[in-house]
């Protein structure tokens, strides 16, 4: 599992039939900064993921990739490589809270 921020959405009217009705979101992985583990740093890549739980732009989420993504409910036969599986409430690193959804704009 990985942490990411939802940065946007993707609309695709023509796609594999098993992907019909699935919301696609753009994710930016969030990494604990190795120089200061009390902060996040954004990853340099973005990922398109299927939203299995109703996440929205600006939220911190949990996602999984690869064969694990197809284990999410209803995705066994879908050609997915990344799926959002949770919305994050808070993150603690070394006993310090570095993210809390209640404190986000």
Model pLDDT for residues 18-73, shown as the tens digit of each residue: 788 889 999 999 999 989 988 999 999 999 999 989 999 999 999 998 777 777 76
CA pair distance 34, 41, nearest whole angstrom: 9
pTM: 0.88
Compute the radius of gyration of the chain from its Cα atoms.
14
Residues 73 and 84: beta-carbon distance below 8 Å: no
The architecture CATH gives domain 2-103: Beta Barrel (2.40)
Q: Where are the domains of the chain?
A: 2-103
The pLDDT assigned to 58 comes to: 95
Average pLDDT over residues 73-79: 74
The pLDDT assigned to 61 comes to: 97
The pLDDT assigned to 50 comes to: 92
Please state the three-class secondary structure of 42-75 as a single string: ECCCCEEEEECCCCCCCCEEEEEEHHHHHHCCCC
Residues 51 and 57: beta-carbon distance below 8 Å: no
């Amino acid at each position: 599992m990985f942490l990411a921020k939802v940065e946007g959405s993707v609309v695709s009217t023509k796609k594999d039939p098993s992907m019909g009705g699935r919301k696609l979101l753009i994710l930016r992985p969030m990494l604990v900064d190795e120089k200061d583990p009390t902060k996040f740093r954004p990853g340099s890549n973005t990922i398109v993921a299927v939203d299995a739980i109703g996440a929205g732009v600006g939220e911190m989420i949990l996602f999984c990739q690869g064969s694990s993504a197809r284990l999410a409910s209803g995705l066994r036969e879908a050609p997915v490589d990344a799926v959002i599986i949770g919305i994050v409430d808070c993150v603690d690193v070394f006993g310090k809270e570095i993210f809390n959804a209640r404190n986000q704009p």
